[in-house]
Structure 1
Amino acid sequence: MARRNLVGSRGLITGASSGIGKALAEELIRRRCRMIVAGRRTERLNELKKLGEDFGAEIIPFVGDLADPDARMQLAATARETLVALDFLINNAGMGALGRFEDMPPERLREVMELNFFGPVELTYEVLPLLKEGNRPIIVNVSSILGHRGIPWRSYYCASKFALQGFSESIRAEMSRHGIDVLVVSPGRTRTELFQGPLERGTEPAWPEPKPVSPQYVAQKTVQAMLRGKAEIVPHVWGAGMVLLSRFFPRLMDRILRRYA
């Protein structure tokens, strides 16, 4: 039985101009949601607004770089002014960072953490009063299977997702006092632009290449989990297997990963 009905609900999605965020926005537009879509690409956000008009959903584009604390505050203010209350908050904006630790100066980690961790934490804090006024509200933090298992060449990205995972687990119990669910989405390999950004360094090793899933698949699984009030999903069979292998056979996983270090 569904825990909530998202039709006509009010929400906010970050990182909505591409990948999983865009696919999530499209899924929720079909449910005629009234929501703010935040991202850096004006044209793509306007396309979502047009799609919303076709489905009878009110879409409010917000253009900004959420690695900037001021942009996060402006986004929260926009939510207060336009929506008054939130039924869902989807923290999806993020960046990748590829390279060996010894080749990545610590200031790179600050860049990654600013968007992947501090962004969701601060935005959640700022809009929490709006979530408390929402109808069966839910916080969705889009993490990664690399928030469960660290791998070579992505130490900074893994660190940011481990931090987001711990934050999400900590507030889940606290938010239950207010009737707010917390869902963590931990995708495996997905066809997105995540690791095509400015922090990529060098050529990574030849990893095994499991078939990637589409952003639309992840979005559909995420919306289903929101409806059912789940705590976490891993929408990738290979990714779920990796998480389980790491949990029950960590030394074996260590030996496997050494081959790609």
Structure 2
Amino acid sequence: MKLRGKRALITGGSSGIGFAIAEAMLARGATVAITGRRSEVLAEAANRLRQNGHDVESVAADVGTEKGRQTTLEHALDKLGGLDILVNNAGGVRAGRLEDTTEAEIRKMIEVDLVAPIMLTRAALPSLRASGDGLVVNVTSGIALVAAPFYATYAGVKGGLAKFGESLRRELKGEGVQVMTVYPGATDTPMMSSSRAGPELGFTREPANAVAVAVVEGIEQDAFEVIRGGEARAKMIALNRDDPAALDKRFLDLKPALAEAVRDHSAL
């Protein structure tokens, strides 16, 4: 897909990976609408994106709610005049032991990270079909490929989103709408600011713009998926498939330090 002239809606576009994807798409000639919950942060992000004369729309709404999704989509369709690309990027996380995670935190992750992208995609499909060259981009996580301890719910919802995308890709095959799944590794974003896990625990962070460049390249190459983390991630995926017990042992050795490092990791 060529991005020039395409109309894209990016959820969670006020910061982090979503903002970087918006920047990268605008640089390729797309028109973009971003959404986020915090109106002041969103307005500032939209102004930054407009600095180079780019056409950017914004809508303050919570896609974790039915009303927020409706507002988001209606605004984007009205301002963009249609929709070619939906980027499901908004998400939240709460790390820690499952027993220490509240029901409210668990439900929030399910609603924002899984229910919201499914329902927003469902609502956007008629417009994406009308485009004739539509695309859904689901931003999941490397944890959906290799689950780490203390991220049980987050791994569950991100893994669910990945399989949702795989199934939908096959469902829409030959119908003018593609689906691409993105698996970022640890990324230097506000969402990761409360985590103290570093390279010694396998959380080597890369800039959000590096992820965004890979996403745009994947779109232009009609890729099914974009997996970040390079050779190290590929080896972990292979080990998780071929000898998961060995990976269990590796995590067992890291558990005490990892538990402490992610104890306060929360972005909901």
TM-score, L = length of structure 2:
0.87
AA aligned to 2:223 is K
Q: Secondary structure at the match of 2:28?
A: coil
1:5 corresponds in structure 2 to 2
Identity, % of aligned pairs? 30
CA 1:217/1:205 → structure 2, altered by over 3 Å: closer, same or farther?
A: closer
C-alpha displacement of 1:248: 2.1
Higher strand share goes to which structure? 2
**Cα separation, partners in 2 of 1:220 and 1:145, compared to 1, 3 Å:** same
The residue aligned with 2:262 is: none
Q: How many residues matched?
A: 254
Structure 1 residues 6-21: aligned runs within 5 Å:
6-21=3-18
Gaps in structure 2 of 5+ consecutive residues? 256-268
Structure 1 partner of 2:104: 107
Q: State the SS of the aligned residue for 2:174.
A: helix
Contact 1:98 1:195 in 2 (8 A): no
Name 2:254's counterpart in structure 1. 260
- Are residue 97 (structure 1) and residue 90 (structure 2) matched? no
Unaligned 5+ residue runs, structure 1? none
- Which residue matches 1:122? 119
Give distance in 1, aligned partners of 2:133 and 2:118: 20
1:1-261 correspondence to structure 2 within 5 Å: 4-196=1-193, 208-237=201-230, 238-261=232-255
8 Å CA contact 1:143, 1:165 repeated in 2: yes
Moved more, 9-18 or 246-255: 246-255
Residues 1:65 and 1:196: Cα distance change in structure 2 (over 3 Å): farther
Q: Distance in 1 between matches of 2:99 and 2:161?
A: 24
CA contact (8 A) 1:207 1:260 kept: no
User: Counterparts of 1:230 and 1:152 in 2: how far apart (Å)?
Assistant: 30
Offset at 1:235? 1.9
- 3-state SS of 2:186 partner: coil
Shift of the alpha carbon at 1:151? Answer: 1.4
In 2 relative to 1, CA 240–18 (structure 1 residues): closer, same or farther, beyond 3 Å? farther
Kept in 2: contact 1:16–1:37 (CA 8 A): yes
Q: Post-superposition shift, 1:52?
A: 4.6
Distance 1:27 1:151 in 2: 30
SS in 2 for 1:176: coil
Displacement of 1:194? 1.8
**Greater displacement, 52-61 / 7-16:** 52-61
Conserved 8 A contact 1:172-1:181: yes
* Partner-residue secondary structure (3-state), 1:185: strand
- Structure 1 length normalisation: TM-score? 0.89
Q: 1:159 to 1:194 in 2, by over 3 A?
A: same
Distance in 2 of aligned mates of 1:210 and 1:125? 34
Classify the secondary structure of the residue corresponding to 2:137: strand
Change (3 A) 1:230 1:204: closer
Moved more, 249-258 or 183-192: 249-258
